[in-house]
């Protein structure tokens, strides 16, 4: 067993209390001494024998009677001056404050640095995707500003409403298709989309010699978008195309469909022949004008130049050119109300002229430039017909599918969104065009 004697908890607690009491007594003595020193000005009643005070010790270097202001010791390099305060000093001058709810009371002399300006706002949602004013109007801004300086107010508003409604309709339809395509993707397909987008981004960067900075500048200059925004728009575009391919896959155009369309639009593929005539007409009583035209043609002046003279009363700005369709053969068709003119024209071959001919109180000169007969057989027309039918059926299928999506989608009222966007467009681009 150790020689040390165990100290009971009670005795240990008594010793701690005794030591604390002694420390507090010593602290009280020190505070008392400090108080006496402060009361006495911190100066002993008796100066040491080795210290001799002189009157000059209380005079500044300038000889004044005031005590010199002590100069603080210079702070050492890197040493910061720290100001300490306590809760009493910190609370001075603020204990009488009163807090009231509401806007602050601004001084009467305060003025705003600028007029209030509309920044942006949400005007609706499409499947919980917000439609913001600035983002929506940005692609239309240049056209709306330009047309504001060309059109009357009412005409501009009609044009702007149509532009906004068309773009809003397209935006809603694209968003419905994008969301539907995204919801249908399997995890593997989602991974494939990400891989495709990385490859597309690498292609854009490779076009700029591997520099993303240069690629960013090139894409922004070309599309007006940053690289990230451009890649997001490309992803949405590909998702929409992917969804539409699934809808269009079932559409087919048969040979029978093509034949029926050709027969229904036969005149479109086989229009009537057209005679392109140059005409000079001068009033018979304007003998001076008749003589000028006659002399010009007799001197070998080109027919188009003579037909462009101011003496010509028949479309001189177009050199008297007129395209006249006719049915049947050229030799039996009628081109004018005067038979004498028809008889003369029927005898012409391309490039030949006739005149002067008096008819209906005028003198006429006529040139047959050419006769055009455009016709297209079924074999040549089949490709165009097939493409036309396919586009028509794709549009019908797209609209039918969009209506199905709208029935179960969350879309804000189209009229309300159009009106809200138009109101901002009027303020920004029409009423504010002079700002």
Q: What are 221-247's pLDDT values in tens digits?
A: 888 888 888 898 889 899 999 899 999
CATH of the domain at 300: 3.10.50.40
* Same domain as 307, residue 229: no
**Do residues 141 and 429 lie in contact, with contact meaning Cβ atoms separated by under 8 Å?**
yes
How far the first Cα of the chain sits from its last, in Å, is: 101
Same domain flag for 295 and 335: yes
Q: Answer yes or no: is 144 within a domain.
A: yes
pLDDT at 22: 54
Interior angle at CA 289, CA 288 and CA 293, nearest 5: 120
Same domain, 240 and 348: no
Of the listed ranges 85-89, 140-144, 247-251, 253-257, the one predicted with least confidence: 85-89
Question: Which of 299, 303, 302 lies closest to 364, judged by CA?
Answer: 303
| pLDDT above 70: percentage of residues in the chain | 72
Residue 242 and residue 280 in one domain: no
Residue indicated by tokens 């006739």: 354
What pLDDT band is residue 55 in, cutting at 50, 70 and 90?
Answer: very low
Per-residue model confidence as pLDDT tens digits over 69-100: 445 555 454 444 445 555 555 555 555 556 66
Same-domain check for residues 352 and 413? no
Q: Both tokens of residue 215?
A: 């690629």
The candidate with the shortest Cα–Cα distance to 323, out of 374, 274, 375, is 274
Are 279 and 175 members of one domain? no
Could you tell me which residues are beta bridge partners of residue 354?
A: 366
Same-domain pairing of 175 and 213: yes
Q: Which of 207-221, 255-269, 351-365 has the lowest mean pLDDT?
A: 207-221
Lowest mean pLDDT among 26-35, 223-232, 426-435: 26-35
- Which one has a higher pLDDT value, 371 or 97? 371
For residues 148 and 423, give the distance between their C-alpha atoms in angstroms, rounded to a whole number. Answer: 14
Residues 326, 287: Cα–Cα separation, whole Å: 33
Pair (188, 237) in one structural domain: yes
67 lies in some domain? no
Which pTM does this prediction carry? 0.54
Q: Of 372, 388, 417, at which residue does a domain stop?
A: 372
* Domain membership flag for residue 217: yes
Residue 317 counted as domain residue:
yes
Q: CB within 8 A of 277, min separation 6: which ones?
A: 321, 322, 323, 324, 335, 345, 366, 367, 368, 369
Residue 10 lies in a domain: no
How many Cα atoms sit within 13 Å of 161 on the Cβ side? 11
Q: Is residue 350 domain-shared with residue 234, that is, in the same domain?
A: no
Full domain range(s) for residue 344? 272-372
Highest mean pLDDT of the ranges 119-128, 182-191, 416-425: 416-425
Q: 281 and 344, same structural domain?
A: yes
Per the model's pLDDT, the better-predicted residue between 346 and 76 turns out to be 346
- Does 277 lie in the same domain as 244? no
Is residue 35 in a domain?
Answer: no
> Into how many domains does the chain fold?
2
* Same domain assignment for residues 206 and 314: no
CA nearest to 274, candidates 320, 325, 313, 226: 325
């Amino acid at each position: 067993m150790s020689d040390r004697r165990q100290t009971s908890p009670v005795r240990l607690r008594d010793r701690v209390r005794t030591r604390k009491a002694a420390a507090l007594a010593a602290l009280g003595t020190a505070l008392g001494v400090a108080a006496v020193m402060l009361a006495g000005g911190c100066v002993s009643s008796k100066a040491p024998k080795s210290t001799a005070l002189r009157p000059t010790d209380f005079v500044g270097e300038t000889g004044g009677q005031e005590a010199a202001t002590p100069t603080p010791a210079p702070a050492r390099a890197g040493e910061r001056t720290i100001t300490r305060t306590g809760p009493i000093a910190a609370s001075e001058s603020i204990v009488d404050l009163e807090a009231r709810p509401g806007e602050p009371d601004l001084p009467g002399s305060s003025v705003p640095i600028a007029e209030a300006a509309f920044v942006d706002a949400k005007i609706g949602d499409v499947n919980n995707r917000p439609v913001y004013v600035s983002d929506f109007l940005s692609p239309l801004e240049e056209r709306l500003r330009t047309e504001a300086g060309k059109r009357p107010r009412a005409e501009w508003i009609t044009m702007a409403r149509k532009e906004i409604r068309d773009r809003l309709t397209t935006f809603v339809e694209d968003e419905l298709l994008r969301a539907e395509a995204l919801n249908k993707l399997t995890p593997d397909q989602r991974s494939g989309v990400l891989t495709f987008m990385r490859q597309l981004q690498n292609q854009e960067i490779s076009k700029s010699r591997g520099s993303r900075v240069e690629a960013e500048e090139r894409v922004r200059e070309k599309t007006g978008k940053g690289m990230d925004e451009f890649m997001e728009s490309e992803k949405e575009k590909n998702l929409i195309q992917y969804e539409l391919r699934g809808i269009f896959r079932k559409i087919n155009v048969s040979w029978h469909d093509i034949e029926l369309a050709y027969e229904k639009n036969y005149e479109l593929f086989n229009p009537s022949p057209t005679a392109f005539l140059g005409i000079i007409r001068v009033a018979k009583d304007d003998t001076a004008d008749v003589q000028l035209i006659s002399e010009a043609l007799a001197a070998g002046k080109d027919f188009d130049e003579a037909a462009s003279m101011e003496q010509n009363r028949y479309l001189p700005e177009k050199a008297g050119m007129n395209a006249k369709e006719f049915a049947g053969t050229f030799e039996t068709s009628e081109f004018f109300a005067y038979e004498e003119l028809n008889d003369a024209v029927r005898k012409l071959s391309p490039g030949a002229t006739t005149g002067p001919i008096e008819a209906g109180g005028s003198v006429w000169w006529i040139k047959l430039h050419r006769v055009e007969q455009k016709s297209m057989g079924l074999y040549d027309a089949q490709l165009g017909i097939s493409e036309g039918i396919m586009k028509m059926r794709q549009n019908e299928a797209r609209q039918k599918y969009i209506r199905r999506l709208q029935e179960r989608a969350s879309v804000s009222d189209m009229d309300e969104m159009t009106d809200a966007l138009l109101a901002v467009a009027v303020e920004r681009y029409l009423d504010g065009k002079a700002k």
